[in-house]
Amino acid sequence: MRVCRAAIPVLAAVLVLAATPCAFAVPPPPPKPSDQEIQDSKANRDAKAGRVGELTNQLAAAETKLIDLQAAVELKMEDANKALVDLDNARDEAAKARSLATAAKTEADAASAAIAQVHKEVDDFAAASFRQGSTVGSITAFLGAKSPQDLLDRAALLNAVSGSQIDALERMQRARIEQANKESLARAAVNTANEKQTAAENAKRVADNATRAAEQARRSQAGEAAQIEAAKAQTEQELTRAQAEVGGLESQLQRYREWQAAKQREDEERAKQAAAAAAANKPGGGARPSRPAPGRPAVVGGGPAVVIARALSQLGMPYAWGGGNAHGPTRGIRDGGIADSFGDYAKVGFDCSGLMIYAFAGVGVGLPHYSGYQADAGRRVPLSQMAPGDMLFWATGGRIHHVALYIGNGQMVEAPYSGSRVRIAPVRYGGIVPYAARVF
């Protein structure tokens, strides 16, 4: 079989390509996402991000309202505690008044009984004198007198005999009047004490009802905040998936572009090799050039700090009223009200001032377990000059009830309220006091 000489170079090139190492082989192309698919995924991602921002603002507003309601609950709880103290005092006062009234009545009854006894003795004396017809106490002793002097002598004798009874009767009469006056004053004191006790009981009922109403409002707001937070968490998950989708499509497009570049390099290499093979097999052709090496892919290329670090190390720790000390979280205590309803006494964690105690203990600063006293623990600076490591405070009616630690960039770390956990949150300016406490 004859082969045309003109076909020899082409055949040689084919044989050379057939012998090309597999390092130059490019796999099948990956799927290429369309521009519309990428655009739609980005639009979906941006919409989710916008929704997350919207829910974040709603959650911040809801939590600000929740903090205000929590402050109202705390004030109502204090009012209820005051009413309870007043009621206990009123009950003690009423009990003492009733005891004094009982004693006064007993003394008055005794005085009346003594007077009755003296009356009986005088009556018995007069009756005995009358029966005996003697000069002692008998009316006949006066009627039988023979002269005025005799009458006077007999009267003196009668007085001498009965004077002790008569004097005793007068003394007992005065004593009875005094005891009657004391009994009257004691009854008046009982009435006044009972009125105070009734008023205190009414005040306690009003305070308890106000506390329950405030707590119901706080619980309702907490439920609303929880719903918003759940929606925010759900949307954040959707945003994560949307971002992954965009990233997946962009990665897929990048892989396709890398495949294109590799395919182009392979085609160029094959063309060069074919041309070199054809040239080498031509009559009088020069020596076969060596094959170039395949190309390589391009290579793509403190004090306040200690306090803040200690506070941030407790993120996620449960809120426990009365919890926290210089060594870390502790079991909460009972408050007889709201904190108990959340079971804070059975939780290990921090309240707002307890978290500050732990944070500042890291630099050897001891703080009292009361936010109102912590406000005086350092130098006061205007809010416009607050710096990381400063303590921020919130008050209602001039009474401080919450503290948080400023960490910079408009953020703070706090233990907010019963049922929550230690968290980072934007600084809330509603109800904030106009200064920060700077310890350093």
Catalytic residue IDs: 352, 402, 414
Q: Which residues make beta-bridge pairs with 404?
A: 392
The span from the CA of 264 to the CA of 141, in Å, is 161
Report residue 224 as tokens: 């609303």
Are 367 and 360 a contacting pair, CB within 8 Å? yes
The span from the CA of 47 to the CA of 310, in Å, is 37
Residue 129 burial (CB < 10 Å; 0-12/13-18/19+)? buried
Report residue 431 as tokens: 């109800």
Are 350 and 319 a contacting pair, CB within 8 Å? yes
- Report the phi/psi class of residue 322: left, alpha or beta, with left for phi > 0 and alpha for psi in -120 to 50: left
Measured between alpha carbons, how far apart are the two ends of the chain, in Å? Answer: 101
**Among 401, 336, 65, 372, which Cα is nearest to 214's?**
65
Report residue 402 as tokens: 């919450």
Q: Where are the alpha helices (DSSP H) in 281-345?
A: 303-312, 338-341
Are 352 and 423 a contacting pair, CB within 8 Å? no
Sign of CA dihedral 142, 143, 144, 147: positive
**Among 425, 404, 293, 406, which Cα is nearest to 351's?**
404
Are 419 and 342 a contacting pair, CB within 8 Å? yes
The amino acid that residue 177 corresponds to is I
The amino acid that residue 405 corresponds to is L
Distances (CA, A) of 40 to 35, 37, 48: 9, 5, 12
Is residue 323 helix, strand or coil? coil
* Cβ atoms < 10 Å from Cβ of 190: 20
The span from the CA of 138 to the CA of 125, in Å, is 9
Is residue 412 helix, strand or coil? strand
